[in-house]
Amino acid sequence: MKNATRPGAVCPTPRAPVIPAGPPNPFRADTVPSVETGAHECHYISTLADWEESASVRRAPRRVPCPEEVGTRDFFPLEQVPIAQHPIVRNLGPDAVRYLQVQRLYAYQASTARLERAVVNPVVLRIAEGRLGLPVSRTMRRDADKIYTDEARHAQFAYDLTDLVEAATGIEPVVVGEPRFLTQLRRQLDRTPVAYQPLVPLCYTIVSETLISATLAKIPRDTRVVTAVREQVADHARDEGHHHRYFVQVMHGVWPALSGAERALLGPLLADFIDWFLEPDLSSMQTALSQLGLEPETANQILHESYPPTQRAADMREAAARTLRLFEQTGVFDDTRTYEAFVGKGLLG
């Protein structure tokens, strides 16, 4: 980052301290003073002022599946489990379809929990502790504390619901490794110059916190789905609405404060991050298909035919619409290589 006084920084003000010159690694600059003056307070609009009343961790009860719904409702919407609609799977009968819906729920919950714990919360903690490398107001830091608590709760209730569904259905989650986005993020960190590495999880968090996945958007309204699942996703979606508005402000502060070199490096990566975040979790689906007794070639055929690339690009554009607007507003696409990276992913153009 250059300095915190550029237009559009989180709290641009003549009194903001300039981040010390030197290696461009503001996120490691633990010595950067935090700023909690009244002058800074006015630039951040709290998105979590009613947190005590609205946060799921403060108000939502434990979501337990009703025994009457276990055999009659879906655990995940069928259209969000394309492999379960494939003719080969349908020929295996309704239990196979249901098995894949339940596995899709487990995979969604596990990937959500890992995202919250491994990526989002470490970034939120940096903000809460004043280690973002930009002057951040006291209110913004306290709101980061609330988000940290929210995300911890989201991870905890993801695993809790998984256990409850397993107990109710008798279907064990298939064992898979870490979610693919974590592997991709680690590889990206290995390829990124050390000085820029802290910016990678920050930008990934901005992407993941401003996107609205089809799961979060659609399940709460889907009356075919087990009530406990709908309510748990609704609890999460409500919290994420507040987080979305918070990270919009983070993006408006961070992007203009980056140096040209940082923007050139990170801009094209933002397109990758959207892609990784929305990428279907094929490894868990492949394992689930093999548990149904299907040969690897048949499982691959089902996966290939269930996720046509054209549909995927359309789904990504829909889910990323608000994030793309945010990037437009913050000037992300001013860089030609970045713009082309988004076009290459089918997100623009």
**Interaction pattern, residues 16-35, with Fe ion; x per rule: CB under 5 A:** --------------------
* Position 243 contacts Fe ion (CB under 5 A): yes
β-strand partners of 44: none
In the complex with Fe ion, which residue's Cβ is closer, 210 or 286? 210
Q: How many CB atoms lie within 10 A of CB 172?
A: 11
**Interaction pattern, residues 208-227, with Fe ion; x per rule: CB under 5 A:** -x------------------
Rounded Cα gap, residues 346 and 341, in angstroms? 9
291: tokens are 């548990």
Rounded Cα gap, residues 62 and 231, in angstroms? 10
Question: Near Fe ion by CB under 5 A, which window of 24-32, 88-96, 237-245, 316-324?
Answer: 237-245
To the nearest whole angstrom, how small is the minimum distance from the Cβ of residue 74 to Fe ion? 23
In the complex with Fe ion, which residue's Cβ is closer, 98 or 230? 230
Give yes or no for a contact between 27 and 198, defined as CB atoms under 8 angstroms apart.
yes
To the nearest whole angstrom, how small is the minimum distance from the Cβ of residue 244 to Fe ion? 8
- The DSSP string of 210-253 is H---HHHHHGGG-TTB-HHHHHHHHHHHHHHHHHHHHHHHHHHH
294: tokens are 């299907």
49: tokens are 């002022």
* Position 154 contacts Fe ion (CB under 5 A): yes
User: Interaction with Fe ion in 164-183: which residues (CB under 5 A)?
Assistant: none
Rounded Cα gap, residues 219 and 224, in angstroms? 9
Q: Which residue has the tokens 């969000």?
A: 80
- Among 310, 313, 284, CA closest to 83: 284
To the nearest whole angstrom, how small is the minimum distance from the Cβ of residue 236 to Fe ion? 6
In the complex with Fe ion, which residue's Cβ is closer, 222 or 235? 235
In the complex with Fe ion, which residue's Cβ is closer, 88 or 118? 118
To the nearest whole angstrom, how small is the minimum distance from the Cβ of residue 154 to Fe ion? 4
In the complex with Fe ion, which residue's Cβ is closer, 154 or 230? 154
Question: Near Fe ion by CB under 5 A, which window of 6-14, 243-251, 286-294, 317-325?
Answer: 243-251
* Position 242 contacts Fe ion (CB under 5 A): no
172: tokens are 């064990």
Question: Near Fe ion by CB under 5 A, which window of 58-66, 98-106, 171-179, 242-250?
Answer: 242-250
Rounded Cα gap, residues 27 and 1, in angstroms? 9
Q: Which residue is nearest to Fe ion (CB)?
A: 243
Given the rule CB under 5 A, which residues bind Fe ion? 151, 154, 209, 240, 243
